Every structure is written in structure tokens, then in C-alpha cells.
Amino acid sequence: MKIDSVDVYHLAFPLTRPLRLRAVEARQMETVFVCLRSGEVEGWGESSPGAAPWFSGEFAAGAFAAIRDWFAPLLAGTVVDSGEHLQQRLAPLRGNSFAKGALDIAWWDLQARRRAQPLWKTLGGTRKSIEIGPVFDQMESPDEFIEQIRQAVDAGYARVKLMFRPGWDVRMVDAVRKELPVFPFHVDVEGELTLGHLDMFCRLDDFDLAMVEQPLPPDDLVGHAMVQDTVRTPICLDEGIASVQQAEMALELKSCRYINLKPDRVGGFTPALAIHDAAAAAAVGCWVGALPQTGLGTRAGLALAAKSNCTYPADWLPLDDYLEADLVEPLAPARDEKDGVMRVALWSEPGLGVAPDPARLEPFTVARATV
């Protein structure tokens, strides 16, 4: 298909409450939207690296500039027949996975809309609804923390994720496990520990966790292999998997037993699908995480979570908890009448099932460009 034009938006949304992102608190959410047009059809993608380089070396303003000045000119006015073809066109420019991811996601949405089928089907998804689990961070009151988790369990969520912070670590895990002796949960370390904390990782074996997510810095695949060889608890790589090549190396080293897939972080659906398939061949499970994003990015993640090797419930960040207004119709989880598990039903409309109204983008637009 011919890409007639590329629109790119740098957006900033006020938050109803601060979001804790590693060592800082964010009071607004910055993200990037891309719209690809081919004839009368358009496809949308969102990439959410954040306002600063917290999750990777990228940030929203930089991703916007990279798309506007470098990546979009490689696509506008050209024919792109597949996700692999798009990635080949972008390959001369190194890095910038979030910037490439926005374009790749938009291409797949465009392709699905041209086929008049939901995006999750175009990606080869095999399930019509996705099990989900919320994320809980440190709170002032341990009692409030336990109560919030208890409410999530009672509501039917399939699992919970707990952020692992200094002073909010093994004792926190011990308290939750005592309250919930068999319920599945895992901890996310965000790469803040080192091999010097190996004793702590061994202690976590006592709590029957579903996994420990990103215990060491992202670039330490060998260190993760050493930890995984030492402990029984599965290790999950998140920030440590930013490309197909890193995934292949991690699988070869046996650095993990799970991979957290975020399509925008790895460069879009095309590399995410390759990582999914490589992990499946190595008997390593995948699941889909979430960064702070709008409903557009949430739908993209859930479309990927419909793949067969996404064997662990996806992250669920309720947008109405922190976003004053979303730009697309939000998806609502519901408890299954048969088994009582909270799931999000996928849509039947083409592509992502929704598209933002450009007029509604205007109040939140920091910068916009058309190529």
C-alpha cells in the first residue's frame, strides 16, 4: 500500500494524581500519536516513552522530532507492503525504538482497516478476551496497600503486580503472601538491583512468586542468566528486551523464563511478533505490559496479548484513575460469569476499533507535523 502522508503529534495530558515512575513523580503524561494515510484509509499508533528518559534513552519530545525529521520522510510517498518492509525502510537509522514503534503500530492498524478486520485478528491472535491484572506501588499505609490488593482479588483479577522499592521489598512480599497464601502475584524491580543482591533473590524463592520482573539493569543479560540459574522463581525480562536481537541473545543465554512485551518499546508489532515466536520456540512465555498511555495504546497492547504464547495476564492500568479525559472510547473489564475472572473483551470493529478525533487532540497538543 502507498503511504500518502504521515501525521505526528506530541501530546501532554494533565493527571488527576501524580504517577510514580521509578525515582520520580510525573504530574503529566506525555505520549506520541502517529497517523498514516493511504487513500481514504488511515491507521493510528501510539508510543509512550514518557516525558524524560526514565524507561529507556527515549522521551516523547525526542520521539516526535525523530519521526518528523527522519523516519516519516522515509515512508511518505512510498509503497510499504508489509511490517518487515517498513522495518527495512527505517533500518538505516539506528535505535529510536519508540519512534519506530509508533509508525509500525500505525501501519498494522492501517493494514487491518484495509482488510476490514480487527487488529488482533490481523496479528494472528487466538483469543477473544484477555485476562488482566493491576499494578500496585508503595503506599503510606501498609494496611491500605493490603486492602487495595484484597479488593482486586475479590473483584476477580487474575493476578497482581507489586512494585519492589527500597524499604518496600521482602517484608512487603512476606506480608502480602501471608494475606494471600495461594493467589498469583509477582514483583517488578525495574532493574534497580545487582548481583550483590543474590541473597535477596534467593529469599524471594520462599514466596512462590509467579516471577521476578527485571531484577538487574537492562543490559546485563549474562547477570540475569546467573540469577535464573541460581533461583527457582522465574525471571522476567522487560526493559532488557528492546529488540529482536536482544531477545534472541537472552533466549540463548537462558536469561529468563518470561518476556514482558511492550510493542512500542521493541519497535512495533513487527519485532514484537518475531520476539513472541522466538520465545514460543524456546518454551519461554510472554505477556504484555503497559506504560502510562491513552486508550489507543492500551488497545494495541491487548491486541498483541491475544497471541497464543502470551500466557500470563496482561497489565491493566485503569485510565480513569489518573487521566482526566481519554481521546477514544475506553475498554471496560468485566467479570466472566462462568469462572469469575476479570477479562477485557476484544472488539469486532476494524483495526484498533477506534480512532481519535483530531479536534479533540488540539487541547493536549504540544507540537504537530505532517509529512
**Among 50-54, 148-152, 205-209, 226-230, the least confident range:** 50-54
* The predicted structure's pLDDT at residue 15: 86
Q: Which of 255, 147, 275 is nearest to 191 (CA)?
A: 255
Element (H, E) at 176: helix 170-179
Give the per-residue pLDDT at 23: 63
pLDDT for residue 329 = 84
C-alpha cell at 127: 483469543
Q: Are 236 and 214 in contact (CB under 8 A)?
A: yes
Give the up-direction half-sphere exposure of residue 4: CA atoms within 13 A in the CB hemisphere.
8
pTM: 0.96
Q: How confident is the model at residue 22 (pLDDT cuts 50, 70, 90)?
A: low
- Give CA–CA dist 201/218, Å, rounded: 17
d(CA 354, CA 363): 19
Chain centroid to Cα 164, Å, comes to 18
With H, G, I as helix, E, B as strand and everything else as coil, classify residue 299. helix
Q: What is the mean pLDDT of residues 238-251?
A: 96
Cell digits of residue 269: 508489532
How far is residue 212 from each of residues 125, 186, 207, 256, measured CA to CA in Å? 26, 6, 11, 10
Flag whether pLDDT at 303 surpasses 90. Answer: yes
* Domains parsed from the chain with CATH numbers: 5-116+354-370 (3.30.390.10), 121-345 (3.20.20.120)
> In the β-sheet with 365-370, what is the strand arrangement from edge to edge?
41-47, 24-38, 5-21, 365-370
How remote is the C-alpha of 111 from its chain's centroid? 21
pLDDT band at 339 (very low <50, low <70, confident <90, very high): very high
Please answer whether residues 33 and 103 qualify as being in contact, where contact means their C-beta atoms are separated by less than 8 angstroms: no
Query: Rounded distance, CA 34 to CA 45, Å?
Result: 5
74 versus 21: which is more confidently predicted? 74
pLDDT range class, residue 328, cuts 50, 70, 90: confident
Q: What percent of the chain has pLDDT over 90?
A: 85
Summarize the confidence of residues 53-62 as an average pLDDT. Answer: 90
Q: DSSP class of residue 193?
A: -
Residues facing 11 on adjacent strands: 31, 365
Is 70 exceeded by the pLDDT of residue 21?
A: no
Give 3-state DSSP helix, strand, coil % of the chain, rounded to 5: 35, 25, 40
User: Residue 163 carries which DSSP code?
Assistant: E
Q: What is the distance between the alpha carbons of residues 174 and 184, in angstroms, rounded to a whole number? A: 14
Q: Using an 8 Å Cβ cutoff, are 87 and 104 in contact?
A: yes
Element (H, E) at 365: strand 365-370
Task: Say how many C-beta atoms besides its own lie within 10 A of residue 172's C-beta.
Answer: 20
What's the rounded mean pLDDT across residues 222-242?
97
pLDDT value at 360 more than 90: no
Mean pLDDT of 243-259: 98
Lowest-pLDDT range of 17-26, 258-267, 332-341: 17-26
Task: Indicate the pLDDT class of residue 251, thresholds 50, 70 and 90.
Answer: very high
CA distance 130 to 158: 10
Asked whether residue 314 carries a pLDDT value surpassing 90, the answer given is yes
How far apart (Å, rounded) are the C-alpha atoms in residues 242 and 231? Answer: 24
Residues 144-150 have a mean pLDDT of: 96
Q: How many CB atoms lie within 10 A of CB 133?
A: 22
pLDDT at 243: 95
**pLDDT at position 74, please?**
97
